[in-house]
Structure 1
């Protein structure tokens, strides 16, 4: 098996960031460390021709990051983690926010290519497999973060969205809720979270249905509108699973409009565990995505590919449920004895 940049870093006792800096002729590395890493590269037969793109001097040391919505705290926090790791590895990050609009996606990809970025990272919300396949044929390193394209061989860092939807719904079921509504967008990650939601209902023998419609945007206003429509209907929902924290905050606001106490009358679970989940009142029970790990992992995979690594890796991280004060046991009305 051909050695990788990870093998070099491990054998030399240094970080991937240090190996990358040496590959890209960045400063700040002692001669002793540099010589040690070069020695390990030679011993492992990690030959310079494997790193041809990094050694030609044609790199711009810049990476494009295409996000669907920078106003969403999840994506702004993810962008910050990617930018921080990029700085450690000697790369500048060019951030583009598309508002989930295909024409903007295409425009920004063309812009990044014209700037001769060394690679492009696409974040959740990007659905066009044809565009990705075309970029891969052009030999431009492309990575995916916070989303999985199972049918495409591409460096990927994501969470198990199905499991995230499952644990969110299971939490509410174990609190005694059976009328649990869901708010989601028509994007891959949310569809997988919905699969987890339905599987949990099925596993618990709950047959609960309501007239479902996908959210058109991922913001508080949309969450409020959709939750209001559900609460105004005959569904009798006592709990919500929202596929991001902003939609969850919207569901809470809709409940308060109806005079419900959160969580005594209505429980809400979000998704992402962004800063808003901690500071909102009540603090939000939410599925946590390890944003720091995602940012680091996707940058390491991307830089390794720029350096000539062959083969693609899919890193699927495990989500966790953070229980706060927006959920509680369902208490039916007491009957006088």
Structure 2
């Protein structure tokens, strides 16, 4: 037999209104009563019918998160941070993996709208500007995370990717590297990182290795290996490579080893994101860190404030990257010197 809100109220010896306030996290209720009601809900295995609430114009306390690649540690760690913050605030998260596929993006947006989510968080890789504008025209709360749409007003929590790319180049230049390869996808965040990287090189009269091309394919490691092979077997073999995420950097390290290069003695490698993979790969990866935990909290807090109607003006929150030095980069060796 299905447990109802009436059963919970009876068992907890409170009114139905009190149970409703606990479910919706509203009203003045003592911590003792709130805890008691939640305990009874758990004991009775009671789950509020959020979709029935949506039909009555109430919030479902559910947010849709679209991410492009759950296999990328950055996105899985970001999703976990967002989910943890949502749980703290009484919100549920529905995660959809799009594989950078615009058709899947459309399908998930349509499906989640049917499920009456309160709003959408769209992660880096979501390139469909028209879809974002369409959601906003429908007055559906939208927050962009880990990228930005600077061409129009939208709520966003992003990293200063330009600065991240600049820091990567600056680190390698200070180590004496002048011939540097870059591995990147043709995405907004990677384009910004590349722009910052090129800016730092230009300040020193340098350019990136001429073998550069945007990689294709969903498998970051294999894509990273393929372009690395091109770099390291060419006449213009670089002394360092900047990979625009840690998974790409892992592919660089793998291919370098397969071709007999020692890291960092023969090839310095710097990644981006500072995910768990950066600490377990050998050698440990020098990388540009994104404040993933803070990013997740900021985007969920902003999402909730938009859902509640507390923010009428659009907010852009920009977080700063930082350099994390490990063992995959070192000063270039000048031939003839030890």
Common fold, TM-score beyond 0.5?
yes
| Distance in 2, Cα, partners of 1:227 & 1:70 | 24
The aligned counterpart of 2:148 is 148
The aligned counterpart of 1:114 is 114
The aligned counterpart of 2:30 is 30
Using CA pairs under 8 Å that are at least 6 residues apart, name the structure with larger relative contact order, 1 or 2: 1
Q: Is the Cα–Cα contact under 8 Å of residues 198 and 208 in structure 2 kept in the other structure?
A: no
The aligned counterpart of 1:188 is 188
| Counterpart mapping for 1:48-87 below 5 A | 58-87=58-87
The aligned counterpart of 1:317 is 319
| Cα deviation 1:10-42 (Å, max 9, x = unaligned) | xxxxxxxxxxx989435996379x9xxxxxxxx
SS at match of 1:109: helix
Deviates more, 1:109-118 or 1:250-259: 250-259
* Alpha-carbon distance, 1:258 to partner: 1.5
The aligned counterpart of 1:256 is 257
TM-score by length of 1: 0.84
The aligned counterpart of 1:292 is 293
TM-score by length of 2: 0.83
| Distance in 2, Cα, partners of 1:218 & 1:166 | 26
The aligned counterpart of 1:15 is none
| Distance in 2, Cα, partners of 1:64 & 1:329 | 45
| Counterpart mapping for 1:88-237 below 5 A | 88-216=88-216, 217=218, 219-237=220-238
| Distance in 2, Cα, partners of 1:150 & 1:22 | 39
| Distance in 2, Cα, partners of 1:101 & 1:114 | 20
| Distance in 1, Cα, partners of 2:297 & 2:236 | 43
The aligned counterpart of 2:245 is 244
| Residue-pair matches, total | 297
| Cα deviation 1:50-81 (Å, max 9, x = unaligned) | xxx99x76111100000000010000000000
| Distance in 1, Cα, partners of 2:22 & 2:164 | 39
| Distance in 2, Cα, partners of 1:306 & 1:209 | 47
SS at match of 2:272: strand
Task: Report runs of 4+ in structure 1 exceeding 2 Å deviation.
Answer: 21-32
Long gaps (5+) in structure 2: 1-20, 35-52
The aligned counterpart of 1:268 is 269
Inter-CA distance 92–278: structure 2 relative to 1 (3 Å threshold): same
The aligned counterpart of 1:278 is 279
* Alpha-carbon distance, 1:208 to partner: 4.4
Inter-CA distance 314–23: structure 2 relative to 1 (3 Å threshold): farther
Q: Is the Cα–Cα contact under 8 Å of residues 26 and 90 in structure 1 kept in the other structure?
A: no
* Alpha-carbon distance, 1:279 to partner: 1.1
| Distance in 2, Cα, partners of 1:154 & 1:22 | 32
Q: Is the Cα–Cα contact under 8 Å of residues 23 and 307 in structure 1 kept in the other structure?
A: no
| Distance in 1, Cα, partners of 2:143 & 2:337 | 58
Q: Is the Cα–Cα contact under 8 Å of residues 224 and 254 in structure 1 kept in the other structure?
A: yes
| Cα deviation 1:154-190 (Å, max 9, x = unaligned) | 1110110000001001100100000110000000000
Q: Is the Cα–Cα contact under 8 Å of residues 209 and 238 in structure 2 kept in the other structure?
A: no
| Distance in 2, Cα, partners of 1:253 & 1:127 | 30
Inter-CA distance 180–88: structure 2 relative to 1 (3 Å threshold): same
| Distance in 2, Cα, partners of 1:239 & 1:320 | 19
Q: Is the Cα–Cα contact under 8 Å of residues 230 and 237 in structure 1 kept in the other structure?
A: yes
Q: Is the Cα–Cα contact under 8 Å of residues 269 and 286 in structure 2 kept in the other structure?
A: yes
* Alpha-carbon distance, 1:333 to partner: 1.9
SS at match of 1:327: coil
